[in-house]
């Protein structure tokens, strides 16, 4: 099963931790679901998928 190309994170603290761990942030865009929030777009990988299991699932889009 192939993984999606991007993973969307909606929590700034989680974003900062992921960037600090070397995960590739490719874009920051306005959220369509929550008008006052940003979405942090990461290049997805199996390593990122595994890392996200350490965070509450409300901090990113599955």
What's the pLDDT band for 27 if we cut at 50, 70, 90?
Answer: very high
Mean pLDDT, range 19-43, rounded to an integer: 94
Domain boundaries, the chain: 6-61
pTM of the shown model: 0.88
In the predicted model, is pLDDT for residue 4 greater than 90?
no
Mean pLDDT, range 57-62, rounded to an integer: 86
Token couple for 23: 């995960």
Mean pLDDT, range 2-28, rounded to an integer: 94
What's the pLDDT band for 35 if we cut at 50, 70, 90?
Answer: confident
């Amino acid at each position: 099963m192939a993984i999606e190309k991007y993973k969307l994170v909606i929590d700034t603290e989680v974003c900062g931790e992921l960037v600090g761990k070397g995960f590739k942030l490719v874009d920051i865009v306005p959220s369509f679901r929550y008008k006052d929030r940003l979405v942090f777009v990461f290049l997805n990988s199996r390593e990122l998928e595994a890392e996200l299991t350490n965070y509450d699932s409300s901090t990113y889009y599955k």
